[in-house]
């Protein structure tokens, strides 16, 4: 799955222990505790108590960042605030959300061995589908309840390929889940379950107000352990990482995420990342899983999540304009031909596998020597086919926007254009530049034709 996924590589824990012996420093003789006066002990206790209150208050968001040591000392002396109150905030925040967090079970059919039918005829090669069995687990969070139904946000990769879905509540109760819609581009999905007895719905926060260093918690079902919490900080409020939508190792999209060092492992995907007020500020999605890498996890910001969720609730999909080309990056083609370096290519609009570029001398794309960036058309369908785009055409611009890779093609298409818009495609064919203008369609409509 590449660097960016939610694979869990190792459970090894360092068992190294350090024992530090007491050493007398020159000029500083060790004192026994009985040598300390009552006044000194009281002063030390007051100072340390004030420091603890101040640190916990600032770290856990209990203050406005303007507290002073004197104010913390006054609170400690008054007995109105104790360190335990600040620590209790984590318990309160998690308790507010935990009943709304569920485990998602992806069920797939097992294959039974091939046997002869009742009339002595063999069944199709490979056997037949048997009972549904759990294939993978993830997490989700209940975000809405309406007309007796409860609705769950999770990751699209959690439910991908499922023949059946189940949601397991915090009390262990399992309920059948129905897929309302999923979107592989943003890796989000919405499920529906019976809402009977569900009283807690998670409250959404505001991810635009997050600050680096702010404490957060991840809740979910890591490694199938169920109802588990991990805690950390916001390492970076906005991180843009490359992803491979088709999981073929070619990075063909970019995802904006929150980076956190709260532990996110396989099974946490789809669960909530919450702040210390118990509000959901992200949906846990992936981590960097590589040898020597720790504490680098990612969550989709809730402000990016909810517009997608709204579209999935209304239409069961996220409508996007459809160009109708499967492509390979030109630089990747050059690299395959041995012309030096190049970047990894991709294929447009989420196809499963790209075709290999032509072998040297077998009629590859003809382009001027100065053209070194663009995308090669491997196949055109739908609107692109109707407009006359062909195999080996090299697209270099969409409208007036230079296109150097499949990622840039996608970003311009999905970010700047709408279904029904006209688009001008500039391309090279037979060494000559040409262009064509046509209307973008809805991909689902094209597939239904």
Task: At 192, list the tokens.
Answer: 């529906």
Backbone angles phi, psi at 338, to 5 degrees: 85, 25
pLDDT number for residue 289: 58
Residues of the chain with CATH 2.30.42.10: 321-448
Q: How confident is the model at residue 70 (pLDDT cuts 50, 70, 90)?
A: very low
Give me the percent of the chain exceeding a pLDDT of 90: 54
Q: For residue 414, what pLDDT is reported?
A: 92
206-315 maps to CATH 2.40.10.10? yes
Find out whether 284 and 140 touch, Cβ atoms under 8 Å.
Answer: no
Q: What would the CATH number be for the domain defined by 100-110+130-194?
A: 2.40.10.10
How much is the pLDDT for 128?
56
pLDDT for res 132: 85
Average pLDDT score over residue span 208-217? 95
Q: Give, as one character, the DSSP assignment of residue 28.
A: B
Fill in the DSSP letter of residue 116: B
Whether 366 shows a pLDDT value over 60: the answer reads yes
Name the band, by pLDDT with cuts 50, 70 and 90, for residue 259.
Answer: very high
Residue 222 has pLDDT above 90, yes or no: no
Annotated active-site residue in 187, 252, 275, 393: 187
How far is Cα of residue 217 from the mean position of the Cα atoms in its chain?
Answer: 16
pLDDT tens digits along 169-201: 999 999 999 999 999 999 999 999 999 999 999
Is residue 157 annotated as part of the catalytic site, yes or no? yes
> Is 14 annotated as catalytic?
no
Domain with CATH 2.40.10.10 in the chain: 100-110+130-194, 206-315
Q: Does the active-site annotation cover 187? A: yes
pLDDT for the residue 13: 31
- The pLDDT, as a whole number, for residue 45 is 42
Split at pLDDT 50, 70, 90, the class of 64 is very low
Q: What top-level class would CATH report for the domain 321-448?
A: mainly beta
Which position has the higher pLDDT, 109 or 168?
Answer: 168
The 10s digit of each residue's pLDDT in 262-301 is: 988 888 899 999 999 999 999 999 866 555 556 688 999 9
CA 162 – CA 394 distance, rounded (Å): 37
pLDDT at 365: 92
Higher pLDDT, 391 or 43: 391
**How far is 181 from 192, CA to CA, in rounded Å?**
10
Taking only the tens place, the pLDDT of each residue in 87-145 is: 788 899 999 999 999 999 999 987 666 555 555 555 555 555 668 888 889 999 999 99
* Range with lowest mean pLDDT among 319-328, 342-351, 385-394, 415-424: 342-351
Report pLDDT digits (tens) over 34-46.
344 444 434 444 4
Set 5, 6, 157, 230: catalytic member: 157
Closest CA to 136 of 220, 229, 224: 224
**Mean pLDDT, residues 162-169 taken together:** 94
Q: Which of 139, 263, 269, 289 is catalytic?
A: 269
Pairing verdict, β 272-274 and 279-288: antiparallel
155 — pLDDT class (breaks 50, 70, 90): very high
> Which of 329, 2, 271, 335 lies closest to 142, judged by CA?
271
């Amino acid at each position: 799955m590449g660097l960016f996924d939610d694979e869990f590589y190792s459970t090894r824990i360092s068992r190294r222990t350090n024992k530090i012996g007491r050493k007398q420093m020159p000029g500083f003789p060790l004192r026994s505790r009985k040598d300390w006066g009552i006044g000194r002990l009281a002063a030390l206790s007051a100072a340390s108590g004030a420091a603890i209150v101040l640190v916990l208050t600032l770290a856990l968001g209990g203050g406005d960042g303007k507290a002073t040591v004197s104010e913390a000392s006054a609170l400690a002396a008054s007995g109105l605030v104790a360190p335990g109150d600040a620590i209790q905030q984590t318990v309160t925040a998690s308790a507010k959300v935990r009943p709304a967090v569920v485990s998602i079970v992806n069920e797939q059919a097992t294959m039974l061995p091939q046997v002869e039918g009742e009339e002595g005829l063999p069944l199709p090669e490979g056997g037949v589908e048997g009972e549904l069995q759990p294939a993978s687990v993830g997490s989700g969070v209940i975000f809405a309840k309406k007309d007796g139904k409860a609705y769950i946000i999770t990751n699209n990769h959690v439910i991908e390929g499922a023949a059946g879905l189940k949601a397991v509540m915090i009390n262990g109760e399992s309920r059948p889940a129905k897929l309302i819609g999923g979107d592989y581009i943003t890796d989000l999905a919405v499920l529906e379950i019976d809402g009977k007895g569900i009283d807690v719905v998670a409250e959404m926060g505001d991810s635009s107000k997050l600050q680096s260093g702010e404490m957060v918690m991840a809740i979910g079902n890591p490694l199938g352990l169920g109802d588990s919490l991990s805690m950390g900080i916001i390492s970076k409020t906005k991180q843009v990482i490359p992803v491979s939508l088709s999981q073929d190792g070619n990075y063909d999209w970019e995802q904006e995420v929150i980076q956190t060092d709260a532990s996110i492992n396989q099974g946490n995907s789809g669960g909530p990342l919450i702040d210390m007020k118990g509000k959901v500020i992200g949906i846990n999605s992936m981590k960097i899983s590589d040898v020597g890498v720790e504490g680098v996890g990612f969550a989709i910001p809730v402000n990016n999540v909810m517009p997608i969720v709204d579209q999935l609730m209304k239409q069961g999909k996220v409508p996007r304009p459809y160009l109708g080309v499967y492509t390979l990056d030109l630089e990747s083609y050059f690299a395959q031909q041995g012309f030096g370096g190049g970047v990894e290519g991709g294929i447009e609009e989420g196809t499963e596998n790209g075709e290999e570029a032509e072998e040297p001398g077998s009629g590859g794309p003809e382009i001027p020597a100065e053209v070194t960036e663009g995308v090669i058309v491997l196949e055109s369908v739908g609107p692109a086919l109707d407009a006359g785009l062909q195999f080996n055409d090299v697209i270099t611009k969409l409208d007036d926007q230079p296109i150097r890779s499949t990622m840039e093609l996608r970003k311009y298409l999905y970010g700047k254009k709408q279904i029904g818009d006209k688009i001008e495609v500039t391309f090279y064919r037979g060494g000559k530049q040409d262009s064509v203008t046509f209307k973008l369609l809805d991909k689902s409509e094209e597939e239904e034709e």
